[in-house]
Amino acid sequence: MTPPQLQQRYKLPRKNILRSQKAITGLFQPGFFVGSFPLRINYLLHPKTAETPSVQVMFSVSKKRFKKATDRNRIKRLLREVYRLNQHELQVLVLNEEQQLAMALIYTGQELLPFQVLKSSFLQCVQKLKKKLNHA
RNA sequence: GCAGCAGUCUGCCUUACCGCGCCGGGAAAACCCGGUGAGGAAAGUCCGGGCAACACAGGGCGCCGUACUUCCUAACAGGAAGGCGCAACUUGGGUAACCGGGUUGCGACAGAGAGUGUCACAGAAACUAUACCGUCUCGGCUUAGCCGAGAUAAGGGUGAAAAAGCGGGGUAAGAGCCCACUCAUCUCGUUGUGAAACGGGAUUGGGAUAAACCUUGCGGGUUGAAAGACCAAAUAAACCCUGCAUCAGGAGCUGCCCGCUCCGGUUUACUGCUUCGGCAGUAAUGGCAGGGAGGGUAGGUCGAUUGAGGCCUGUUGUGAAGCAGGUCCCAGAUAAAUGGUAAGGGUCCUUUUUCGGCAACGAAUUCGGAUACAGAAUCCGGCUUACAGGACUGCUUUUAAA
RNA sequence: GGUCGGAUGGCCGAGAGGCUAGGCACGGGUCUGCAAAACCCUCUACACCGGUUCGAAUCCGGUUCCGACCU
């Protein structure tokens, strides 16, 4: 019997995806980001509201670097899987605060990379993010 | 059997674990269960429609598009069948040049006897054509030729292009000047719905360019789902303009109107008249409708997935396609779902080895590799472009056997 | 998603059917004691693929890339 909390961890329903234009423009103001090739994470902490979950995320791939829609779809799906399978690392970090976290995963690479590479890169980013948040 | 070309179709599968969107059911909710979920090009946005908003008496001009004929279609610049021209292959005749037949491919294939423009350089001359060399005649000087006046488009040279082609006659030399054949054009007849074809007649016969302007026929109102409709939230009941109403009001009942009940009110300034109660005019205020400018929002619902729909059968037609019957419901997202990881299999290519076959080659085995192009965004009909591999059909070369 | 526009040397930029101007930069030279400025000379181009035409940067299709606008 696995506890229900653990079962939920690998899910990524739609409401955890960041979709408000206001929040997104806020994310892309010059400010807080961590990077580890080929990924970059813009993040923003703001007071918790009742409706939204504590962590919201969005995925972004440049149309200039990847002309074909299939390539962009592929990368975004890979990113989503990487985040989905490793999001518990973050959730532990943020849950104790009275704030919620909004973040954007941006793919900065020039070509398609396999799943395992993206996974290790994401985990590095998370480590960096932990350090930064603890300092603040 | 193999290869090439053309056309049509197809375009990986299975299992395990973890997920995502939509629909239905359960549940207070978290969530659970079931169903379902990319393409032939979803692409480019190159054409044509549906749909929506706005505009709109009718006609002309202009602008844009289009162009052999007939048909198909909701429509088209698409498709089908046919005509003509060009090319390739093949076959028959012929010594050959070439001619006839067949198959396939390609063609922005209307008009240059309506007008305007352009045609660089070269060349004598590039458009009411033209005489540089050459050829010929006559005259003069002089007998070698030169000079002058004319005739001439055969030959030379230039050019992308030089005034129907070729042979003969003719002539001082030449020339459609004349004749035969051929090629255009016009015209008459026959056949065909038609593009055209065939036959007769006529000297009638001096470029190219219309993807230059243009002429003729035909078609087109403009803008596109970020169209457009509604709801919520937020801001600023403010400001400006126009029109209407004019002493009008507010609250409750009600989905709305009518109606009923209750409460409150009949304003302010100026001017004129006055029987001093008021009345009339102007301005302001408040009401309604439309517009402008400015401000706010960046959420949701509809549009939007049943349609010129797919599949099957019959039937009409050479065909594109039409008609009739049956049957099916088959993505609907919106910072944008349709996926990830692992294992196995299929198909194809290359290498090794073995077997079969006269041979081209085929089958098995094994190391390694490949498994395309590409992702719905309002929906349809086309076109164009991209595409690993496979299947089928037609034609042709080649190899082997008979 | 839709509607438009553009692509000419290293950079800017004219040309609109007939040898692709011009400026800046680079390189060489003149001048100078050495430089700068000035003057002279040289090098390097029509995005790609087809078509129309005698001839295409220009006209017409297609491909690629870049940019603008519409809520």
Q: Provide ipTM, 2 decimals.
A: 0.80
Positions on chain B within 7 A of a protein C-beta: 18-22, 30-32, 38, 298-299, 334-342, 374-376
Would residue A5 count as lying in a domain?
Answer: no
CA–C1' distance A80–B21 (Å)? 15
Would residue A40 count as lying in a domain?
Answer: yes
CA distances from A119 to A9, A112, A128 (A): 16, 14, 15
CA–C1' distance A136–B150 (Å)? 115
Q: What is the CATH number of the domain that holds A94?
A: 3.30.230.10
Instruction: Please report residues contacting nucleic strand C, using a CB cutoff of 7 A.
Output: A 64, 67
Nucleotide with minimal C1' distance from the CA of A25 is B335
Per the CB < 8 A criterion, the answer to whether A102 and A22 are in contact is no
Domain count of chain A? Answer: 1
Would residue A27 count as lying in a domain?
Answer: yes
Of the candidates A60, A62, A72, A57, the residue with the CA atom closest to the CA atom of residue A20: A57
Note the pLDDT of residue A8: 46
Bridge partners, A17 (sequence order): A57
Would residue A39 count as lying in a domain?
Answer: yes
Per the CB < 8 A criterion, the answer to whether A76 and A109 are in contact is no
Would residue A12 count as lying in a domain?
Answer: no
The residue range of the domain holding A109 is 17-135
Of the candidates A6, A35, A32, the residue with the CA atom closest to the CA atom of residue A127: A35
Strand B contact at CB of residue A24, distance < 7 A: yes
Would residue A1 count as lying in a domain?
Answer: no
Nucleotide with minimal C1' distance from the CA of A74 is B339
Would residue A28 count as lying in a domain?
Answer: yes
Token representation of residue A46: 């703001």
CA–C1' distance A125–B183 (Å)? 86
Residues 6+ apart with CB under 8 A from A80: A12, A59
CA distances from A67 to A70, A74, A113, A120 (A): 9, 12, 16, 26
pLDDT tier at A7 (50, 70, 90 boundaries)?
very low
Would residue A66 count as lying in a domain?
Answer: yes
Note the pLDDT of residue A36: 84
For the stretch A55-102, pLDDT in tens is 888 888 888 788 888 888 889 999 999 998 888 887 766 655 567 788
- Gap between the Cα atoms of A33 and A31, Å rounded: 7
